[in-house]
């Protein structure tokens, strides 16, 4: 501390003494007038006292200064000693990253490295000085001699002669043991998995009765052996469903071998006509065991909804998919009819308990979306309730059908409404029916989810990680050719007396035709049964054919795209379609279909630039699951037909990413 400051402090605290001497001087002045002798004696006494005060005050200030100085020296010494011997290693750097000071612990962990005036980025190449200065916190871990250190920083200010210098203290927190404990904790977490035999009853029905116990035994033996290898608790909870409980560190073996249990189960054969397929749902890191179990159930539902014969892991809100490359030729006529009947009865009960139904499909509607919506509209009307269809855009794909609907004179003005009008009509007694889409981001009017309390989903697309949450009723069958097929099945059971309008049966069969490519893809017994039902109710193939006609310019544009097609790796056709207007979704899907007619082509991919995004339409002949390729590009669909919308990339960048996705798909060790 400065001596002058001490002097000022002493003077400030001795003001009473000064006042006392001032009073004595004033008193002596009065006595000088009346008692001069007494005044002289008093002056001598006051002078002596003041002299003594000055001497003792000076000694006091000197002693205070010496004591404070000694204390400061001791503090500095102890502080320096404490910093040098601090158990936490740290260093001080300036704003340029040059090292100014290092404590002993930091010197010990850094060894023989030159530290003073060395730049921090030279000592640690992974550390960026600008990041340290600009960011309030540092999320940086460095490894020194097999120890992991987490960096913490503290800004300190040095003031000297009115100059302020900012320095940065970097603390090296050893988190090696913490990381080991965390790894042990993570590895020891419990994971819950549900294993479901997709086609248990169908496989049992396909073999002799005496062989059924043998087949069941083989399945259970393989799952039991898997449980032993995983150190898992295995519990059969239904005849076709098993629960596995195991530690999280065992999950990696599943991922490493790409869930080979799927192949092992599929190889079981004792004369069964259908291969046994398995769906697996695994839940990880729920808030508790109940939460983990719910994750597992969600994952299993997603695996089944995507067509089965695959595994899905749900970790928090993230999904990871394995398998799904083998085409599932599921027909299941009897089971399908039973499910359709149950869903139809449930839907009828829902409609009977609401006042109004609003139906919507997906953005950029196609014939399947509009056909399914029109079929559900008629089903609701047959139940005596008012229905509306949300339609914000008439695309080229549905233009001919929509014109036919308008010219039919069968529908009120408010049958087709836009989003704003639909929001006005919504109340507590309104049911929202979503058709031909299960991803909430692709629906025609996403805002309706904000007001809808009761939601029904009818769709045939394979589920992705993002699906409509908590529908009160869901009829989602990945095996179905189209949503129009599912709606046709429902209509047959919703009412005892079915009365469909001419335009409605044409719209439904057009939806089936467009998604099956004229009954060539994903066509099963139920598809033809649905078509036969529509034909009995007045559907006409000649009228429907008109809905698929194209103008001459469209043919020329498709021919140009075919001429520039690239055959990638002998079996994959890739081309770019130069869009002419805003409604090219139908064109690129038709083009993708045509490219499959080229000899040797197993799958086709058409890219089209549309405003601020790239459109992808893909098709396959069944040997390749194009839905998995579309997923890698942010889309989805079916085994033989899929699409995507990609933003933030050029069309050439998308083409390269598409090729990379095809390469990854065919890696021998990649089942995802």
Q: Which residue has the higher pLDDT, 1 or 166?
A: 166
Residue with tokens 């467009």: 514
For residue 543, the model assigns a pLDDT of 87
For residue 65, the model assigns a pLDDT of 64
Q: How confident is the model at residue 10 (pLDDT cuts 50, 70, 90)?
A: low
List strand residue ranges (DSSP E) for 270-385, in order: 278-284, 310-315, 318-323, 356-360
Q: Which residue has the higher pLDDT, 12 or 48?
A: 48
Contact 386, 411 (CB under 8 A): no
pLDDT of residue 672 exceeding 50, the answer is no
Query: Helix, strand, or coil here: 317?
Result: coil
pLDDT tens, residue by residue, 83-115? 666 778 888 888 888 888 888 888 888 876 667
For residue 390, the model assigns a pLDDT of 96
For residue 256, the model assigns a pLDDT of 84
Least confident of 45-49, 194-198, 323-327: 323-327
pLDDT of residue 145 exceeding 90, the answer is no
Mean pLDDT of the 387-408 span: 91
pLDDT of residue 16 exceeding 70, the answer is no
Task: Based on DSSP, count helices (H) and strands (E) in the chain, helices before strands.
Answer: 24, 23
What are the residues whose beta carbons fall under 8 Å from the beta carbon of 372, sequence distance 6 or more? 361, 435, 436, 458, 482, 483, 484, 486, 487, 508, 511
Q: Which residue has the higher pLDDT, 259 or 557?
A: 259
For residue 132, the model assigns a pLDDT of 73
Q: How confident is the model at residue 160 (pLDDT cuts 50, 70, 90)?
A: low
For residue 375, the model assigns a pLDDT of 95
Rounded to whole angstroms, the Cα distance separating 129 from 127 reads 6
For residue 338, the model assigns a pLDDT of 66
Q: Which residue has the higher pLDDT, 73 or 57?
A: 57
For residue 318, the model assigns a pLDDT of 84
pLDDT of residue 583 exceeding 60, the answer is no
The percentage of residues in the chain with a pLDDT greater than 70, rounded to a whole number, is: 83
Q: How confident is the model at residue 82 (pLDDT cuts 50, 70, 90)?
A: low
3-state secondary structure 442-468: CECCHHHHHCCCEEEEEECCCCCCCCC
Other Cβ atoms closer than 10 A to 117: 9
Q: Which residue has the higher pLDDT, 105 or 244?
A: 244
Tokens representing 534 are: 């529509």
Mean pLDDT of the 653-659 span: 92
Q: 240: closest CA among 208, 305, 194? A: 194
For residue 333, the model assigns a pLDDT of 46
pLDDT of residue 557 exceeding 90, the answer is no
Q: What is the mean pLDDT of the chain?
A: 83
Q: Which residue has the higher pLDDT, 643 or 388?
A: 388
Q: Which residue has the higher pLDDT, 63 or 10?
A: 63
pLDDT tens, residue by residue, 203-224? 888 888 888 899 999 999 999 9
Contact 642, 603 (CB under 8 A): no
Q: 514: closest CA among 382, 389, 638? A: 638
pLDDT of residue 131 exceeding 80, the answer is no
Rounded to whole angstroms, the Cα distance separating 546 from 548 reads 5
For residue 280, the model assigns a pLDDT of 94
C-alpha dihedral over 664, 668, 670, 672, to 10 degrees? 80
The DSSP output letter for 250 is: G
Least confident of 46-55, 279-288, 325-334, 568-577: 325-334
What are the residues whose beta carbons fall under 8 Å from the beta carbon of 402, sequence distance 6 or more? 370, 391, 394
pLDDT of residue 381 exceeding 60, the answer is yes
Q: How far is CA 408 from the centre of its chain?
A: 45
For residue 544, the model assigns a pLDDT of 86
What are the residues whose beta carbons fall under 8 Å from the beta carbon of 383, sequence distance 6 or more? 348, 351, 352, 494, 495
Rounded to whole angstroms, the Cα distance separating 3 from 9 reads 10
H or E element, residue 45 = helix 36-84
Query: Helix, strand, or coil here: 621?
Result: coil
Q: Which residue has the higher pLDDT, 465 or 153?
A: 153
The percentage of residues in the chain with a pLDDT greater than 90, rounded to a whole number, is: 31
For residue 423, the model assigns a pLDDT of 94
For residue 159, the model assigns a pLDDT of 53
Least confident of 141-150, 407-416, 499-508, 597-606: 141-150
Query: What's the half-sphere exposure (Cβ side, CA atoms, 13 Å) at 571?
Result: 10
Radius of gyration of the chain (CA): 41
pLDDT tens, residue by residue, 40-57? 777 777 777 767 667 777
Rounded to whole angstroms, the Cα distance separating 663 from 469 reads 34
pLDDT of residue 597 exceeding 50, the answer is yes
C-alpha dihedral over 377, 379, 381, 383, to 10 degrees? -150
Rounded to whole angstroms, the Cα distance separating 91 from 529 reads 79
pLDDT of residue 18 exceeding 70, the answer is no
pLDDT tens, residue by residue, 475-521? 988 778 899 999 999 999 887 777 899 999 999 999 999 888 788 77
Other Cβ atoms closer than 10 A to 481: 27
pLDDT of residue 401 exceeding 70, the answer is yes
pLDDT of residue 362 exceeding 70, the answer is yes
pLDDT of residue 669 exceeding 50, the answer is no
Q: 482: closest CA among 442, 416, 530? A: 530
Whole-structure pTM over 0.75, yes or no?
no
């Amino acid at each position: 501390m400065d001596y002058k400051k001490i002097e000022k402090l002493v003077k400030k605290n001795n003001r009473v003494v000064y006042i006392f001497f001032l009073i004595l001087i004033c008193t002596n002045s009065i006595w000088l007038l009346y008692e001069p002798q007494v005044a002289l004696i008093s002056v001598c006494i006051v002078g002596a006292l003041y002299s003594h005060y000055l001497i003792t005050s000076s000694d006091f200030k000197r002693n205070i200064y010496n004591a404070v100085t000694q204390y400061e020296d001791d503090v500095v010494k102890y502080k320096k000693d404490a910093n040098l011997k601090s158990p936490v290693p740290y260093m001080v750097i300036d704003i340029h990253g040059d090292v100014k000071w290092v404590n002993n612990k930091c010197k010990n962990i850094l060894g023989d490295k030159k530290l003073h005036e060395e730049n921090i980025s030279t000592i640690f190449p992974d550390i960026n000085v600008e990041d340290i200065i600009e960011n309030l916190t540092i999320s940086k871990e460095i490894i020194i001699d097999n120890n992991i250190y987490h960096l913490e920083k503290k800004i300190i200010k040095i003031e000297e002669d009115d100059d302020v210098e900012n320095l940065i203290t970097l603390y090296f927190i050893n988190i090696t043991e913490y990381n080991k404990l965390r790894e042990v904790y993570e590895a020891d977490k419990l994971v819950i998995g549900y294993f479901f035999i997709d086609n248990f009853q169908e496989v049992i029905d396909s073999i002799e009765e005496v062989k059924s116990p043998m087949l069941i035994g083989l399945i259970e033996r393989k799952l039991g052996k898997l449980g032993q290898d995983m150190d898992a608790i295995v519990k059969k909870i239904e005849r076709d469903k098993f629960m596995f409980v195991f530690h999280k560190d065992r999950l990696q073996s599943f991922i490493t071998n790409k869930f080979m249990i799927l192949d092992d189960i599929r190889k079981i054969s004792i004369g069964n006509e259908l291969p046994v397929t398995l769906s697996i749902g695994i839940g990880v890191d729920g808030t508790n065991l109940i939460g983990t179990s719910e994750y597992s159930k969600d994952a299993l539902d997603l695996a089944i909804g995507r067509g089965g014969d695959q595994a899905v892991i749900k970790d928090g809100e993230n999904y990871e998919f394995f398998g799904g490359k083998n085409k599932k030729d599921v027909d299941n006529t009897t089971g399908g009819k039973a499910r359709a009947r149950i869903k139809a009865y449930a839907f009828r009960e829902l409609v009977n308990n609401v006042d109004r139904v609003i139906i919507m499909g997906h953005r950029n509607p196609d014939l399947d979306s509009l056909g399914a919506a029109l079929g559900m509209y008629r089903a609701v009307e047959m139940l005596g309730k008012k229905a509306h269809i949300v339609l914000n855009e008439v695309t080229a794909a549905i233009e001919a059908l929509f014109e036919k609907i308008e010219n039919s004179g069968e529908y009120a003005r408010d049958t087709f409404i836009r989003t704003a009008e639909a929001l006005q009509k919504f109340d507590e007694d309104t049911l929202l029916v979503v058709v031909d889409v299960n991803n909430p981001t692709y629906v025609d009017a996403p805002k309706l989810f904000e007001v809808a309390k009761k939601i029904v989903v009818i769709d045939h697309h394979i589920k992705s990680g993002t699906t409509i949450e908590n529908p009160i009723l869901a009829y989602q069958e990945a095996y179905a050719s189209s949503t129009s097929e599912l709606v046709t099945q429902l209509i047959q059971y919703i009412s005892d007396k079915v009365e469909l309008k001419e335009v409605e049966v044409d719209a439904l069969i057009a939806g089936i035709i467009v998604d099956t490519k004229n009954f060539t893809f994903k066509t099963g017994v139920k598809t033809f049964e649905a078509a036969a039902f529509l034909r009995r109710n007045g559907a006409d193939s000649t009228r429907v054919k008109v809905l698929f006609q194209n103008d001459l310019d469209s043919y020329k544009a498709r021919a140009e795209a075919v001429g520039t097609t690239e055959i990638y790796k002998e079996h994959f056709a890739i081309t770019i379609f130069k869009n002419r207007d805003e409604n090219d979704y139908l064109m690129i899907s038709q083009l993708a279909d045509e490219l499959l007619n080229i000899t040797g082509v197993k799958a086709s991919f058409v890219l089209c630039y549309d405003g601020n995004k790239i459109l992808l339409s893909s098709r396959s002949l069944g040997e390749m699951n194009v839905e998995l390729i579309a997923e890698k590009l942010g889309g989805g669909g079916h085994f033989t037909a899929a699409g995507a919308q990609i933003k933030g990339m050029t069309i050439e960048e998308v083409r390269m990413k598409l090729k990379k996705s095809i390469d990854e798909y065919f890696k021998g060790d990649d089942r995802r």
